Amino acid sequence: MTDETSYGFDTLQIHAGARPDPTTGARQTPIYQTTAYVFRDADHAAALFNLQEVGFIYSRLTNPTVAVLQERIATLEGGVGAVCCSSGHAAQIMALFPLMMPGNNVVVSTRLYGGTVTQFTHTIKRFGWNAKFVDFDDLDAVKAACDDQTRAVFCEAIANPGGYITDLDAISAIADEAGVPMIVDNTSATPYLCRPIEHGATLVVHSTTKYLTGNGTVTGGCVVDSGKFDWSASDKFPSLSAPEPAYHGLKFHETFGALAYTFHGIAIGLRDLGMTMNPQAAHYTLMGTETLSLRMDRHVENAMKIAEWLENDPRVDYVTYAGLKSSPYNARVEKICPRGAGGLFTFAVKGGYDACIKLVNALEIFSHVANLGDTRSLIIHSASTTHRQLTKDQQIAAGAAPEVVRVSIGTENADDLIADLDQALSKATA
């Protein structure tokens, strides 16, 4: 494919980054299960290590199978490059790594996946970094939280677990004014439903484990670079604008331009952090991306039907699906996610914490797992699992209150899923 930008999404999700294997003619991307690659000669090896030539050195850094996935996700997101890694959590650290120094902070939304809240509350402090949690619906508070030490703002396009939709355009305007990148976790939306770069995002992160793979087989993560941020506009980002000692004083932004962040992610991030995606995982995710639009359309269709049914059920207090007309986020669907509000949301069960536990135990089609984005419908009681480490106030702020369950609606028959929820709610609220 010579001009990938001219093709539609359904074509790109199958073909972007992939070409028939030049040696065998294999149509599907091969799994290059190798640790290292033979250099043509000593000069070739030196050029690769000096970043003077692009190629394959060692699979901690680059791998042909992973490279195809990187190009495909970058193309679908409208970015210039991408770096794949071992998990969504790894992608978040990878995204921040070139930006942050001890004493710096990132302004983050309170509506985040519980594991992300824990990572940003506790783990990043080991690097000397800090996170400021703010309600991203309060734009004045977001603006006030940005200070001289802020190096990024971070949010989710469709927030896990509640399915809340972030006003990306408004947040990106604040980030632009502060002179820092906006990082958007697009896991729950996927590039089919939302393209954050078109709304001002500098970087997009994914847990490829979820909808991009879509079959619950492998973990993975990805950081997509828009290529639009001027890393040399200030002295805030020396990793990208200043001389790099490990490469004889090379300046990444000066040398690689729009691809500076992507090259840094591979040459420094993967080299030193080692959060590498394995080629088998890349292969499974490549196969998953081929049906992404088909699956997302069905996820959205099913989620809408089930959310409407739950909203009208007297055993349910409320439903958070943004696709519902009653949702305060419904007006953002057309603007941010024009193809639909996704397949993820929560609902509150009358009877509280205990009723939620009974509901989870009574379901037959829904699987009780700590995952989302599968073709199978999934459920979890976040307050007792994924958000268990948070305080009650943090749980409520994240949309994971004790009386709430999160559902990831799959691609099964919607009527079968409603029947399963019906019988389980009867047992939970009896």
Taking only the tens place, the pLDDT of each residue in 143-192 is 999 999 999 999 999 999 889 999 999 999 999 999 999 999 999 999 99
- The 10s digit of each residue's pLDDT in 196-232 is 999 999 999 999 999 999 999 999 999 999 999 999 9
Question: What residue ranges define each of the domains in the chain, with the CATH number in brackets?
Answer: 9-288 (3.40.640.10), 293-428 (3.90.1150.10)
User: DSSP letters along 173-209, please?
Assistant: HHHHHHT--EEEE-TTTHHHH--GGGGT-SEEEEETT
* Cα–Cα distance, 178 to 308 (Å, whole number): 40
Query: Amino acid letter at 28?
Result: Q
DSSP 25: -
Radius of gyration of the chain (CA): 22
Q: Tell me the pLDDT band of 23, cut-offs 50, 70 and 90.
A: confident
Query: Phi and psi at residue 198, in whole multiples of 5°?
Result: -70, -15
DSSP 59: T
* Cα–Cα distance, 368 to 88 (Å, whole number): 20
Residue 3's pLDDT is what? 58
Residue 389's pLDDT is what? 76
- The 10s digit of each residue's pLDDT in 114-123 is 889 999 999 9
- The 10s digit of each residue's pLDDT in 275-312 is 999 999 999 999 999 999 999 999 999 999 999 999 99
Is the per-residue pLDDT at 397 higher than 80? no
* Cα–Cα distance, 267 to 6 (Å, whole number): 30
* Cα–Cα distance, 400 to 392 (Å, whole number): 9
Is the per-residue pLDDT at 26 higher than 80? yes
401 versus 69: the higher-pLDDT residue is 69
Place of tokens 């805030």: 236
Is the per-residue pLDDT at 375 higher than 80? yes
Q: Which contiguous run of DSSP H or E holds residue 422? A: helix 414-428
Query: Amino acid letter at 247?
Result: Y
Residue 390's pLDDT is what? 77
- What are 366's two structure tokens? 């829904």
Supply angle C-alpha 147, 92, 150, rounded to 5. Answer: 5
- Using an 8 Å Cβ cutoff, are 81 and 262 in contact? yes
Q: Tell me the pLDDT band of 5, cut-offs 50, 70 and 90.
A: low
2 versus 77: the higher-pLDDT residue is 77
Q: Residues of the chain with pLDDT > 90: what percent?
A: 90
Q: Tell me the pLDDT band of 242, cut-offs 50, 70 and 90.
A: very high
229-237's contacts with Cβ under 8 Å and 24+ in sequence apart are 229/181, 229/202, 229/261, 231/260, 231/261, 233/179, 234/179, 236/151, 236/179, 236/180, 237/98, 237/99, 237/151
DSSP 153: E
Q: Which contiguous run of DSSP H or E holds residue 250? A: none
Chain-centre distance of CA 338, in angstroms? 18
How far apart, in Å, are the Cα atoms of 341 and each of 157, 163, 198, 326, 418?
A: 10, 8, 17, 13, 19
Q: What is the pTM of this model?
A: 0.95
Q: Tell me the pLDDT band of 4, cut-offs 50, 70 and 90.
A: low
Q: Tell me the pLDDT band of 18, cut-offs 50, 70 and 90.
A: very high
